[in-house]
């Protein structure tokens, strides 16, 4: 005599599942239906009563005749009428996790996969109505319905660990790229400042930007894709970057690096404020650190204003202008890189800065001719600058702009250390305090 496979629909903890060859219980068997081999038509499913979930468990999917995820998917998609349906509570299952529950009409269950698994041309299927409370004890060790095994129950926890690990990796990568950009910017700014003391300012800025632009064009030719939106946003930022670079080098040519660099470090306040205005919400500690950095910049410039040296006063004014312009450059570059192509943003920024610097040199009849022996050094400065920009763009894609912009502004630490080591520069006590306070403020913002 042919054995009739039994398919039980269990409703427990808010989930619907189907399996065959369940142990018989005292529950009634409402009807027997005949399913042909390969039949994919939906058959009426017996309701299991009204059961609400009280424990949050992931959805088991193995060893199911009609996987619970399919039943829930049909339930959410069609929500049929009351004909041949029973009203039960089914959770909204997304990616196998429980997110909520609601009352829906039970649809027609897809039992077409039963006959091919049994391997018979024609089989009878018993739809057995099961008490949810009773089903919990009978099928708690079976995958696909009722209580899921320990491995399946741990899926959500493992997924949570994986997501937290990925978030941590992105945060660490953003910090690493931002710090690497600040290190590279510090070396480039120190070297460029030294060159501007011996070579024309226009020649150093224009040629260094042109060298970096050549490298970007070569990379773009190999990449073969340009994002127009990122390109134009980069152009806007590049105009500020070119102005800030010219002001910064001019300030370094007139004042000491230990004074100019900490003032320029306050450029991080500009993207921080703009990011706050556009919807980012950095921690309160970051705002406090910005105020501390600004106070340190004021302390670092007090002695310069009282010294009566017009050249040094000009250096402070140029450093403030460089901070504002570089801050705008950092904000627009970060915005363009975080929402679209970083390469297109870098190319656009270089186009904007190079256009501004060439126009400024032409309008002022400034000479761009430099000594042949300095050409290689200027080219290396441009390469270091574009590398720092690329590292910052990568950091912007992985972290908050309000945070990475401040981490990228740590380049004055490198500049000050190189100035003390190479040039043996000395600063007064109040200036030391101002430099320390400014750098401490930048560090506080970075740690926020």
pLDDT over 70 (residue 100): no
Greater confidence (419 vs 125) lies with 419
Q: Are residues 143 and 167 in the same domain?
A: no
Once rounded to an integer, what is the mean pLDDT over residues 125-154? 39
Q: Are residues 99 and 202 in the same domain?
A: no
Q: Are residues 238 and 90 in the same domain?
A: no
Q: Are residues 119 and 241 in the same domain?
A: no
Q: Are residues 10 and 134 in the same domain?
A: yes
Q: Does residue 1 form part of some domain?
A: no
Q: Are residues 312 and 430 in the same domain?
A: yes
Greater confidence (412 vs 436) lies with 436
Q: Which of 113, 121, 134, 116 is nearest to 65 (CA)?
A: 113
Domain count, the chain: 2
Q: Which of 24, 82, 91, 85 is nearest to 53 (CA)?
A: 91
Q: Does residue 323 form part of some domain?
A: yes
Once rounded to an integer, what is the mean pLDDT over residues 350-365? 87
Q: Are residues 210 and 351 in the same domain?
A: yes
Q: Are residues 127 and 215 in the same domain?
A: no
Greater confidence (259 vs 210) lies with 210
**Buried b / exposed e along 198-220 (16+ C-beta atoms within 10 A):** ebbbbbbbbbbbbbbbebbeeeb
pLDDT at 384: 92
Q: Are residues 149 and 168 in the same domain?
A: no
Q: Are residues 120 and 179 in the same domain?
A: no
Q: What is the pLDDT of residues 266-282, one digit of tens each?
A: 787 888 888 878 877 77
Q: What's the chain's average pLDDT?
A: 64
pLDDT over 50 (residue 185): yes
Greater confidence (356 vs 430) lies with 356
Alpha carbon separation from 416 to 252, 259, 357, 437 (Å, rounded): 12, 9, 26, 14
pLDDT over 60 (residue 115): no
Greatest mean pLDDT among 42-56, 200-214, 262-276 lies in 200-214
Q: Are residues 10 and 52 in the same domain?
A: yes
Based on the number of CB atoms within 10 Å of its own CB, is 181 exposed (0-12), middle (13-18) or buried (19 or more)? Answer: buried
pLDDT at 164: 66
Q: Does residue 440 form part of some domain?
A: yes
Choosing from 99, 129, 153, the residue where a domain stops is 153
Once rounded to an integer, what is the mean pLDDT over residues 352-367? 85
pLDDT over 90 (residue 184): yes
Q: Are residues 280 and 409 in the same domain?
A: yes
Q: Does residue 51 form part of some domain?
A: yes
136: containing domain: 6-153
Contact at 8 Å (CB) between 338 and 177? no
pLDDT over 90 (residue 369): no
Q: Which pLDDT band, with edges at 50, 70 and 90, does 41 fall under? A: very low
Q: Which residue has the tokens 């996790």?
A: 97
């Amino acid at each position: 005599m042919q054995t009739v496979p039994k398919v039980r629909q269990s409703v427990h903890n808010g989930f619907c599942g189907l399996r065959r060859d369940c142990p018989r219980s005292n529950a009634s068997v409402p009807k027997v239906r005949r399913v042909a081999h390969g039949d994919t038509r939906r058959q009426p499913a017996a309701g299991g009563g009204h059961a609400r979930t009280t424990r949050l468990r992931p959805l088991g999917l193995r060893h199911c005749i009609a996987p619970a995820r399919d039943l829930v998917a049909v339930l959410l998609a069609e929500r049929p009428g009351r004909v041949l349906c029973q009203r039960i509570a089914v959770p909204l299952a997304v990616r196998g996790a429980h997110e909520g529950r609601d009352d829906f009409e039970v649809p027609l269950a897809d039992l077409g996969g039963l006959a091919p698994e049994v391997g018979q041309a024609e089989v009878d299927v018993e739809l057995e109505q099961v008490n949810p409370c009773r089903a919990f004890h009978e099928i708690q060790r079976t995958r696909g319905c009722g209580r899921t095994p320990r491995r399946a129950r741990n899926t959500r926890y493992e997924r949570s660990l994986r997501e937290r690990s990925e978030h941590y990796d992105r945060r660490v990568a953003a910090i690493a790229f931002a710090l690497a950009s600040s290190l590279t910017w510090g070396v480039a700014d120190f070297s460029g400042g030294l060159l501007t003391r011996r070579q024309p300012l226009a020649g150093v800025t224009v040629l260094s930007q042109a060298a970096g632009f050549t490298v970007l064009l070569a990379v773009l030719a190999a990449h073969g894709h340009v994002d127009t939106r990122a390109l134009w946003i980069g152009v806007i930022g590049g105009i500020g970057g070119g102005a800030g670079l010219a002001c910064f080098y001019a300030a370094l040519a007139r004042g000491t690096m230990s004074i100019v660099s900490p003032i320029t470090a306050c450029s991080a306040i500009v993207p921080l404020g703009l990011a706050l205005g556009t919807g980012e919400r950095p921690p309160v500690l970051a705002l406090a650190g910005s105020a501390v950095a600004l106070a340190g910049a004021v302390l670092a410039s007090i002695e310069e204003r009282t010294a009566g040296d017009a050249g040094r006063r000009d250096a402070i004014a140029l450093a403030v202008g460089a901070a504002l312009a570089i801050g705008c450059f950092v904000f627009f570059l970060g915005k363009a890189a975080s929402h679209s192509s970083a390469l297109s943003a870098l190319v656009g920024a270089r186009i904007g800065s190079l256009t501004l610097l060439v126009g400024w040199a032409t309008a002022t009849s400034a000479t761009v001719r430099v000594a042949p022996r300095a050409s290689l050094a200027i080219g290396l400065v441009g390469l270091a600058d574009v590398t720092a920009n690329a590292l910052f763009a990568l950091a912007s894609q992985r972290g908050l702009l309000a945070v990475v912009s401040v981490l990228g502004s740590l380049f004055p630490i490198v500049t000050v250390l190189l100035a003390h080591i190479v040039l043996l520069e000395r600063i007064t006590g109040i200036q030391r305090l101002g430099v320390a306070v400014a750098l401490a403020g930048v560090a506080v913002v970075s740690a926020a």
